[in-house]
Structure 1
């Protein structure tokens, strides 16, 4: 939809008001892992590779629960758009209770399976032992991580992205200090890195609970019907997330089997990709909040116009990040104290990481818009289709003995498939459902 200049400026103001604080909050999340990577990289032996293996398992498990943030943002924003703040808070509290219960369930299920999961990703010997240590300690912080997801979703749905920014910055700073203390000063090794992150995430969860039940006076009592409804609505988003995590897990497993230099380089490249993805996702967060609010208010034209404007922002942001990666590429391996072999691998892979950024900018924006619209069922089916597009490329890399660059080019096939499926849906009208 073409926009007049005043309308464009108004949409830009709305996007920036939500996206700029969301950018800071989202970047703080992968900075947790980047901080761990920099500090653990100073440890001897396969500690860095162990961090990569354990973080892949942890990210996959916690990533399945991203619906706690995304689904809550969309549902709360719709109620805000419809003018029902009380119902918005009620739905937010249902998400918090669901987060707490899900976190405890994850600990009970994943703890005994942890050794098998680590070996599934190809880790053996000392690498497996260190990965298991990091993973099991980190599991203790999963309930807090999920409460942070749900609390963030509530505030974003209420069009508040500043508070999540402040909480994220504070918890990142605490995480960095604790990790440096536990690992470098007290000599706790990789276990110290895990304990630092657990404590930082737990404090962040406590802050969110204090904000929602204190400042916003949200009702504390759980509503079992509401919790079941929130869980049911999140099933499709879980399917979508399973597909995303399956792609990343397959990539890590293949990189692990290529050798120590390859898994080290892949771990660093994955951290950088995650950092860039979260940066681009800031506009997607704005898309979730704006789309939910405008559709809740019945404004289809405003939804279309805001979507188009956010796509423009996504492309521009992707180009900027492409240039940033290219400029910083020669200096990146030294930051992570990479070996000469890992440095060669990483320098080659970063060209692919850079080239994918403009595509990622559009993909993440459209993903956020459709989540905000509550179009979870389509996103689930699209996730299955794009995973099926990726797997043959990954199998070809493994069968032909392709290297790390070939593996990342296979991830480029996956991103292109996501661009096609999301773009086709956004062009249509079936996702434009209005009302509370």
Structure 2
């Protein structure tokens, strides 16, 4: 029997669906319109993730504070070390976001996930090294931070247990990075809640049962849960969207990650220098000035979370646009993000202006401290307005992987702007307003630098 010459058609393989709500990389370059709703859909989960840790730390501090001043001082010493370590390694999130976003925008989802896998290997290697080093050096570090032997001993015990959370914390940074890069900020929010809620529930019982060490146990529990969620997601996504590459460390990917990380670490260190220097200057002005500076600084740190969440959206969207080789789309996203961030800054500044008479009283009733806060309050309002531009353009330039410029601009702004004016305010008796003028100048210089870079267009060539 003669066979028909007609070819049998094999069923078409269904296209893999990319799990994100924003325009996918299959769209034609530059054709999609990024709306404010798209930016908001990325920014609000990122905001909650950014706010979750500070809010938990407030709860943790309140719980431990009930044990007494000694235990609270031990927690402060330990938390300072942990915060200093993890703050310097934000390249695991910001650097990974930029690189993954470019790959995702180019339609290379497997490569974007692979970038996250390699960043996770970096997190494990660096985290393990730091954990072992800090564990061994902890008694010396804590004696330097806390001259009281009892405080130093309790802080050492707290830190010895908390060292177990360093690797999970860095894995979480890497996980946040690559998921943001593929324009998914909702999963990181769910994972963060999955860890923070059990942590917040556990800490009162653990502290009551084990003392200040219970705080460390709760911290390890929460970080481990979040890290496990990110690792499980990487495995599942790689099985669904990945290729045949093995999971082992790939130096060809890790090397450029570390190169970008070097610049971001220097940038983070310059921030630390600025704010540690500010605390040192305020401390020399007296307890009233130091208390006022602490209130203003914590308000600034909290308010910048809103602006930083917009910057995270900018990183993902700009990186994806440049990955599609669409400079026009990247610029359109940048202008949209700037407008969105400035609007948020105006609303925050208006709220600060309207609440100038009562917001400071939520933090203290001391008349001296309140008077000092009032002297610098309007500088904080101006900083929020300028910061709305700085943070948006920081996100744009980070999304474009323009980290060398950001590193240099930040370091110069500290050295040329804040440090001279900050210490002159002490020497010439300008008080807290002079100190915060130094911080304002630091921000103004950064603003001028990132605006110039953005207008030059060179960021899109990075």
* 1:144 equivalent in alignment to 2:168: yes
**Where does 1:28-427 land on structure 2 (aligned, <5 Å)?**
28-45=52-69, 51-52=75-76, 54-114=78-138, 124-125=147-148, 129=152, 134-183=158-207, 185-186=208-209, 188-189=211-212, 191-217=213-239, 220-255=247-282, 266-325=293-352, 352-388=379-415, 389-400=417-428, 403-404=431-432, 406-427=434-455
Q: CA deviation at 1:154?
A: 0.8
Q: CA deviation at 1:137?
A: 4.2
TM-score, scaled relative to structure 2: 0.81
Which 10-residue stretch deviates more, 153-162 or 311-320?
311-320
Distance (Å, rounded) in 2 between the aligned partners of 1:405 and 1:127 = 38
What SS class does the counterpart of residue 89 from structure 2 fall into?
coil
Q: Retained in 1: the 8 A contact 2:423–2:435?
A: no
Shift in alpha-carbon separation, 1:46–1:369, aligned structure 2, 3 A: farther
Unmatched tracts of structure 2, length 5 or more: 1-30
Shift in alpha-carbon separation, 1:37–1:417, aligned structure 2, 3 A: farther
Distance (Å, rounded) in 1 between the aligned partners of 2:139 and 2:429 = 28
Q: CA deviation at 1:312?
A: 1.2
Q: Retained in 1: the 8 A contact 2:285–2:426?
A: no
CA RMSD of aligned residues (A): 3.2
Cα deviation code 1:308-363 (max 9, x no counterpart): 11111111111222344456666667766887776666676655444421222211
Q: Retained in 2: the 8 A contact 1:95–1:227?
A: yes
Q: Retained in 1: the 8 A contact 2:143–2:149?
A: no
Distance (Å, rounded) in 1 between the aligned partners of 2:70 and 2:359 = 20
Distance (Å, rounded) in 1 between the aligned partners of 2:238 and 2:68 = 48
TM-score, scaled relative to structure 1: 0.85
Distance (Å, rounded) in 2 between the aligned partners of 1:128 and 1:66 = 29
Q: CA deviation at 1:416?
A: 1.6
Distance (Å, rounded) in 2 between the aligned partners of 1:351 and 1:126 = 42
Distance (Å, rounded) in 1 between the aligned partners of 2:234 and 2:169 = 16
What SS class does the counterpart of residue 432 from structure 1 fall into?
helix
Q: CA deviation at 1:257?
A: 5.5
Distance (Å, rounded) in 2 between the aligned partners of 1:209 and 1:263 = 42
Shift in alpha-carbon separation, 1:100–1:187, aligned structure 2, 3 A: closer
Q: CA deviation at 1:145?
A: 1.0
Q: CA deviation at 1:36?
A: 3.0
Shift in alpha-carbon separation, 1:393–1:41, aligned structure 2, 3 A: farther
Cα deviation code 1:32-90 (max 9, x no counterpart): 33333444454532665665554444323211111111111111111111111121121
Cα deviation code 1:367-408 (max 9, x no counterpart): 111011011111111121111021112322443566555434
Distance (Å, rounded) in 1 between the aligned partners of 2:73 and 2:434 = 20
**With CA pairs under 8 Å and 6+ residues apart, which has the higher RCO, 1 or 2?**
1
Question: Which protein shows a greater Rg?
Answer: 2
What SS class does the counterpart of residue 278 from structure 1 fall into?
helix
Q: Retained in 1: the 8 A contact 2:425–2:435?
A: yes
